[in-house]
Every structure is written in C-alpha cells, then in structure tokens.
Structure 1
Amino acid sequence: MKIFHYLKYFLFHFIGLAALAGITIGGPAVSYMVLAVLVIYILGDALAGDDTSTPEFNHPQILTFQLWLALPLLSAIMFASVWSVCDSDVLGYGALVQQLTGIDVLTARENTAIWHHFSAFIGSGLMIGLIGTITAHELTHRTWDPISMLIGRWLLAFSFDTIFSIEHVYGHHRYVSSKDDPATAPRGRNVYFHILASTVKGNISAWKIEKKRLQRKGYAVFGPRNAVIRGHLMSVLLVAIAYAMGGLVAAGYFLACMLWGKALLEIVNYMEHYGMVRNPETPVQPRHSWNTNKRISSWAMFNLTRHSHHHAQGEVPYQDLKPYPEAPMMISGYLTTIVIAMIPPLWHKLMIPKVLEWDAKYASDEELELIREANANSGIKAFEESVITDNALQAKTA
C-alpha cells in the first residue's frame, strides 16, 4: 500500500493529460473533457469522502519530481489550446497527432463550433489554475530550492501572477485573516469584487516587498534584479509566443485564458479565509483557515486542501501536512466550493452560518472584538444582527 500513496498524486497528471487530449481532438471532445473534470472533482469529492491518512514517505524526491512535471504538462496543454484557434498547423502538431493516432484533428479543428472553443477556454483556465497555480504554490514555498522556485515562477507566468511567489510567501502568510492581507475577504464582500481588489492590492503589496528587499541589498529598484518586473516579462514572453503562433486572435485568446486562471486563484483565496479575523501581531493558528479533507481534492491538488496546517507551518511539504479534522471546514471540496463561491446568494446562504459558528467556537477574546467591527461593516443583516459574539464574549469572560 505504500506505493499507492505515491501513485495517488498522479491523479493530477491524469487529469492534465485528459485535458490535453480533449483540447487537441476539439469539437464535442473538449466540452466532454470540461464536464469530465467537473464530475471527477465535484462528484468524486461528494462520494469518496475524506482522506485523513498521514503516511510517511521515504522517497520525497519522487513527490518533488511529480511537482516538476507540471511545467511540461501545462506547457503542452496551453500550446494545444492556442493551436486550436490558429489557422496554421503550428510546428506540424496536427499532422503529428494524425500520424500517431489516425485522428484528423486538423479537420476537427476547422469544424469546431464556437461553444466548443468556449469550452476550451474554460478548460484551459481550469488547467492553469489546477496544474499551474496549485503546483506553483507548493514549489514557491521552497525558497531553499532554486529549481523548484524557477519552475514555480514559470508556472505562475501562465496566469500573469509571478508576484504570487513574493506576496503570498512574504505577505499573505504574515497577515492572513487580518485587514492587512489583500487575499483575505472580509465578511459581506462579493467574490467578483474580491478578484479585482485582491489582484490590485496583491500587486501593490508584492512591489512594496520587493522594493524593500532591493533597497536593503543596495540594488536599483528599476533594474534586472527586480523579481516583479522580471516575472511580468515572463508572462509577456508567453503572450508573444502565442502571437507568433496565430497573431492577435491567438494572443488574445491566450491572454483571456491567463486572466481566467488568475481569477481562479483569487476565488480560491476568497474561500480559504472568508470572514475570518486575526490580529496580525499574533501567531497564525490552524483555526485561521478554512480546511477540507475531501479525498479527490486532496489527491489532485497536492494536499492544498489541508490549508489549516499549511498556514500554521508554511514550510512543511505538502505530503507531510496533517488533516486537522477539528479545524473549521469548507462547504465541500475545492472545485465544489469554487462553483458555490461564484454564485453569491448561495455562497452567503451556506457560509453565514459557518462564519457565525467560527465566531462562537474558534475566536479568541481579542478576535471577538474584531468580529464586532467586521459584522458592523459587512452590509449583511445576519452579521449585523448577530448576538453570537455577545454571548460568546460573556461566556469567555465569565
């Protein structure tokens, strides 16, 4: 059974290869691929239950290599995706596929309807988020490993988000669940506003962090050592490659996929810490993140689901994260919760009781005072009229 614990993380790669096949074949196949991804994650999490196992891994280098494989896999997926909207057979890709499989993908591409191209856009953005950002999240925490850092930043370049390797590691992890954290959504915030607000404030935060680092080391802020500038140029280079493949249509399509992938990250940020409060001068505890142990999400997302332990100890590799079943729990697995977050009325209906439960069950004395302010500013009647904080404060101080 020990080998199974290594193999289970290849579910991630299987999903990526399925996406590559669907996008390449085109037509209805790409729409079926997107539907299959949704079914695997959403229905799989609903039926497969939780994974709270904590096996020991004697060969962690295998797990690291699995992470590194994300870069060639995502590169292939996005090449095929951009190729699918090009007029020419870039690098003879279609001819090669037909030679190897007998499938006439060039004719299929010509006959692909617009709604199937839209499915390719949705699926490509999902792959940027699931294969690119999630893997990069793990790799860019490994600040001691230059290879992992390089691969992680290139994965982030596919969503114009290399600043994540700066702001997330050195900003978000310090200020998480506080008003000073751009990625933490306050009570009452709409997810679509959060995508914009967190993106803008996150870039500003990353610039300030990088500027301070450069000045401390005596380097010019506007120079080749600036990781923010270099990172955005990496993304520009990828757009330029798309332009070389198929002109403005290909570049515009790829840029749209990149921005959709970036939006997915901010939706995940939204749901991972929504409504929580913390004094940034106090230690981060497992209770300051929404957690989930859903089996399929855990296997296909390198234990990103075990977010409570990750924030309590950000340097711990994904395979060693503990499930913390006593931590505050998300609505369901990640993709299910993403879909719910994109429907604000449903999100608030399901999350308001969870946030109020967090107030009563997890908040410290100091945080109860922060909750009063958060509720008053939420614009949501259920929070504004909440008496849980009053009762909880009386119980804690009695």
Structure 2
Amino acid sequence: MEARRAPDAPEWRDPKRYLWLLALAVPTLPLQAGALVAVTGQGAWWWWGPVFAFVLLPVLDHVTGEDGENPPEAVMKRLESDRYYRWCTYLYLPLQYGALIWACTRWAGGALSVGEGTGLAATTGVVAGVAINTAHELGHKRDRSERQLSRITLAQSGYGHFYVEHNHGHHIRVATPEDPASSRLGESFWRFLPRAVAGSLRSAWHLESRRLQRRGRRTWSRHNQILTAWSLTVVLFAALTTTFGPAVLPYLLLQAVLGFCLLETVNYLEHYGLLRERLADGRYERVSPRHSWNSNHTVSNLFLFQLQRHSDHHANPLRRYQTLRHFEESPQLPSGYATMIVVAWCPPLWRRIMDPRLEQHYGDLRKAHVRPAENASGTKAAPRA
C-alpha cells in the first residue's frame, strides 16, 4: 500500500494552508442568501444554498481539476500538531449557529412566502449536512473537547446518534453486508436511504446499550450518549421555538431532514459496491484504501475538510484532514462529491457512470457488494450489472 509521494522538502509549507478557511463560507450560506435577496430584490435567492453546493461547486471542481499530491512524510507530525487547522473546524460552530438563529428571525418575521421560507430551509439544510461532516472530523479525535464539539455540531440536524454509529459501527463493518451505511451494487440511493437511516439508528442504539451494560449502567440514563445527543436537539429546537414562535418549527424540522439526507447521500457514494473479503476464520479482511471511493477534486476537498480522501480516513481514522493522503490503489470517483451527490439522486445515470468503474476496479462484478434480489424461484440472485 503505497501513497503518492510529494517531493521531499524540509521547508515544505502547505500550499492550501489559508484556503482551508474557504470551508467557513458554508455555514454563512443563509446570510449570503439574505444579502443576495437584499441586493437583487429576488426572493429566489433564498435557494442559494443548493445552487452553491450543487451548481457552483461542481463547476469550480471541473475548472480547477484535481490535486493528488501528499505532504512529505517528514512534515506529517508537525502538520498534525499545528493547531491552526483545528481552529478552522472549531470556527464552523459559532458561524453555524449564528446563521441558524438568523434564519429563525427571517422565518418568524412573516415576510417570506412559503416558497421563500422553504428555500431558506434548504439553504440551512446544506449547512446542517456539511456540519455533520465537521462533526465527523471532530468526533474521530482523542481530545475530549473535540468530541464534545462534535455532539454540539450534530444538534442542528437531530442526528446525534451518528457519533456512536459512525465511530463504533460503520468503521468496523464498512464495506460488508452488516453495515447499513455501505451501499450495494444495484441499490439506488432512494432504496438505500430508508435502509441507512433506520439501520444506523438501530445499530447505534444496540452499540450504546451494549456499552452501558458492560459498564453496569442502565440504557435509559444520563450516561446514554444517544439520549444526551438527542436532548441537545430538543433543547435547541425548544429554545428557538419559544424565542421566535411556533412558525419556525416546521422549517427547523425540514432543514434537519435535508441535512441528514445530504449526509446519507455522501454515505451512499463513499462505498458503493465495495466489499471486503471474508477470510477463512470468518472475519473480514482489514480495511484498506481499496474499500472506499476517493476523490482529489480540489474545491470540494477544501469545502469538506478533505472528506473526499476517504480511503486514507478509513485506513487511519485518527488522521487529521490536512494530512490525509491519496493512494493509487483507491478507486476514484469521476468528480467531486458536489457533482456525485446530484448524480446519485438519478439512479439510471449513477449506474451508467459507476457500475463500469466498479467492474474495472474488481475485474469481475461477482466480487462486488451486490444488492440481494429475489428471482422468480424465490432464491437470491444478483441484479443485472
């Protein structure tokens, strides 16, 4: 397993060091939408969040292309310990919640039509979805304060159980039939979505119940990390509803649903059809860069704290985003997440693009993670690839 090496340079400096701050433009999307409406007088700009994420970013990805270079091994330790990169993620939170409170003032003001309010909810939902990615970056770290910030970040989307399931379920069972967050060849996103949402919730509850039982504690108690995470959402939504009135609650719920659906779309594309081999002792082979789809598209990586270098993340979960590496053996997405999310929402287009890449990766689709399907006789059969 060999990473692509950047030229060794003792004085190497991260050429994207200050570009990581671009990620902080995402939590301000509602404010950007309001500014665009004020300047143009056009209420359609309340939908700026989806336009930014699924139109502008794909164009920028196409224009700027890919960056597959890795930091030299000699600077990895210094790069990991540089607290500047941590503050880039920490600052997401005050901007995220400042924008959410501001959005509530717009929803409560009564000046927005239903369509405009829904557009602002969609824009705020993009913030919530990307916030789950920020929580993902923070939640993998050993620092207790970062893990606590991760739970706070998840409150906006009501997806606090992600912290438990992702760290203790998904990372262990990734690219296996036991993982609800690993999509299968032939499985559309719309079939995957309810399976992933329900399966991840069940898995998180089982994992947390087992953890508490091992420690001699009751499942329904203040020690339950899922219950405490959900309570943050309840307190947040109750406080906002009390402060701004019940008119904001439908929009808060809508943006939360859109946020976690955006997360599950990313889950869908990250491991589509990839399967770890089961060994003779019944266990699965160790997770490697071959078990995650990767993307080096520069702009999407900047806005997502390099989530698209997902192969190295699964091989080395504690590695911070600025040191994630590209591996030649990782299967590569044809574009960045901003583009592939939209493609995933159109199953025929997704399969036309991704199934040949999966076949090229394995050489034989029978080695892939195939969606079970019933044939006429009732026995399990693989769908046509």
Structure 2: which amino acid aligns with 1:138? E
The 1:275/1:52 distance shift into structure 2, 3 A limit, reads same
Residue 293 of structure 2 contacts residue 330 of structure 2 at CA under 8 Å; is this kept in 1?
yes
Equivalent residue runs for 1:194-209 within 5 Å: 194-209=192-207
Give the structure 1 partner of residue 225 of structure 2. 227
Tell me the SS of whatever aligns to 2:108.
coil
The 1:28/1:47 distance shift into structure 2, 3 A limit, reads same
Which whole-Å deviations, capped at 9, do the CAs of 1:308-345 have from their partners, x for residues lacking one? 11111111111111022441011310110001101112
Give the structure 2 partner of residue 91 of structure 1. none
Give the structure 2 partner of residue 134 of structure 1. 133
Q: Distance in 2 between matches of 1:268 and 1:304?
A: 10
TM-score, normalisation: structure 1: 0.82
Give the structure 2 partner of residue 116 of structure 1. 116
Q: Distance in 2 between matches of 1:378 and 1:47?
A: 44
Cα deviation for residue 52 of structure 1 reads: 1.8
Give the structure 2 partner of residue 321 of structure 1. 324
Residue 24 of structure 1 contacts residue 80 of structure 1 at CA under 8 Å; is this kept in 2?
no
Q: Distance in 1 between matches of 2:374 and 2:318?
A: 33
Equivalent in 51, 71, 88 of residue 35 of structure 1 = 51
Q: Distance in 1 between matches of 2:48 and 2:87?
A: 30
Confirm whether residue 11 of structure 1 aligns to residue 27 of structure 2: no
Tell me the SS of whatever aligns to 2:343.
helix
Cα deviation for residue 4 of structure 1 reads: 4.3
Structure 2: which amino acid aligns with 1:43? V
Q: Distance in 2 between matches of 1:325 and 1:81?
A: 43
Which whole-Å deviations, capped at 9, do the CAs of 1:15-72 have from their partners, x for residues lacking one? 4335423246643443345424434311011111111232345452111111111111
Q: Distance in 1 between matches of 2:264 and 2:219?
A: 27
Higher RCO (Cα < 8 Å, 6 or more apart): 2
Structure 1: which amino acid aligns with 2:165? E
Residue 239 of structure 1 contacts residue 254 of structure 1 at CA under 8 Å; is this kept in 2?
yes
The 1:376/1:204 distance shift into structure 2, 3 A limit, reads closer
Confirm whether residue 241 of structure 1 aligns to residue 239 of structure 2: yes
Residue 184 of structure 2 contacts residue 371 of structure 2 at CA under 8 Å; is this kept in 1?
no
Equivalent residue runs for 1:80-99 within 5 Å: 80-87=102-109
Confirm whether residue 302 of structure 1 aligns to residue 305 of structure 2: yes
Residue 156 of structure 2 contacts residue 233 of structure 2 at CA under 8 Å; is this kept in 1?
yes
Residue 86 of structure 1 contacts residue 246 of structure 1 at CA under 8 Å; is this kept in 2?
yes
Residue 22 of structure 1 contacts residue 30 of structure 1 at CA under 8 Å; is this kept in 2?
yes
Q: Distance in 1 between matches of 2:243 and 2:190?
A: 32
The 1:343/1:218 distance shift into structure 2, 3 A limit, reads same
Residue 305 of structure 1 contacts residue 334 of structure 1 at CA under 8 Å; is this kept in 2?
yes
Confirm whether residue 74 of structure 1 aligns to residue 77 of structure 2: no
Residue 289 of structure 2 contacts residue 329 of structure 2 at CA under 8 Å; is this kept in 1?
no
Residue 24 of structure 1 contacts residue 84 of structure 1 at CA under 8 Å; is this kept in 2?
no
Q: Distance in 2 between matches of 1:209 and 1:377?
A: 29
Equivalent residue runs for 1:265-276 within 5 Å: 265-276=263-274
Give the structure 1 partner of residue 40 of structure 2. none
Give the structure 2 partner of residue 395 of structure 1. none
Which deviates the most, 27-36 or 296-305? 27-36
Tell me the SS of whatever aligns to 1:314.
coil
Which whole-Å deviations, capped at 9, do the CAs of 1:201-228 have from their partners, x for residues lacking one? 1011111111111111111111110111
Cα deviation for residue 266 of structure 1 reads: 0.7
Residue 224 of structure 1 contacts residue 230 of structure 1 at CA under 8 Å; is this kept in 2?
yes
The 1:267/1:311 distance shift into structure 2, 3 A limit, reads same
Tell me the SS of whatever aligns to 1:239.
helix
Q: Distance in 2 between matches of 1:359 and 1:211?
A: 38
Which deviates the most, 76-85 or 242-251? 242-251
Structure 2: which amino acid aligns with 1:337? M
Cα deviation for residue 378 of structure 1 reads: 8.7
Tell me the SS of whatever aligns to 1:64.
helix
Q: Distance in 2 between matches of 1:36 and 1:292?
A: 19
The 1:254/1:53 distance shift into structure 2, 3 A limit, reads same
Residue 309 of structure 1 contacts residue 321 of structure 1 at CA under 8 Å; is this kept in 2?
yes
Which whole-Å deviations, capped at 9, do the CAs of 1:126-158 have from their partners, x for residues lacking one? 11112x11111110001x211111111111111
Q: Distance in 1 between matches of 2:190 and 2:50?
A: 22
The 1:140/1:346 distance shift into structure 2, 3 A limit, reads same
Give the structure 2 partner of residue 341 of structure 1. 344
Root-mean-square deviation (CA, aligned residues, Å) is 2.4
Q: Distance in 2 between matches of 1:79 and 1:123?
A: 13
Structure 2: which amino acid aligns with 1:7? Y
Confirm whether residue 2 of structure 1 aligns to residue 5 of structure 2: no
Q: Distance in 2 between matches of 1:188 and 1:284?
A: 22
Cα deviation for residue 354 of structure 1 reads: 1.5
Q: Distance in 2 between matches of 1:20 and 1:128?
A: 14
Q: Distance in 1 between matches of 2:328 and 2:86?
A: 26
Q: Distance in 1 between matches of 2:329 and 2:261?
A: 30
Give the structure 1 partner of residue 295 of structure 2. 292
Tell me the SS of whatever aligns to 2:170.
helix
Equivalent in 142, 152, 155 of residue 154 of structure 1 = 152
Residue 185 of structure 2 contacts residue 272 of structure 2 at CA under 8 Å; is this kept in 1?
yes
The 1:147/1:24 distance shift into structure 2, 3 A limit, reads farther
Confirm whether residue 377 of structure 1 aligns to residue 373 of structure 2: yes
- Count of residues in Structure 1 that have an aligned counterpart in Structure 2: 353
Give the structure 2 partner of residue 64 of structure 1. 86
Q: Distance in 2 between matches of 1:385 and 1:28?
A: 42
Runs of 5+ consecutive residues of structure 1 not aligned to the other structure = 88-108, 387-398
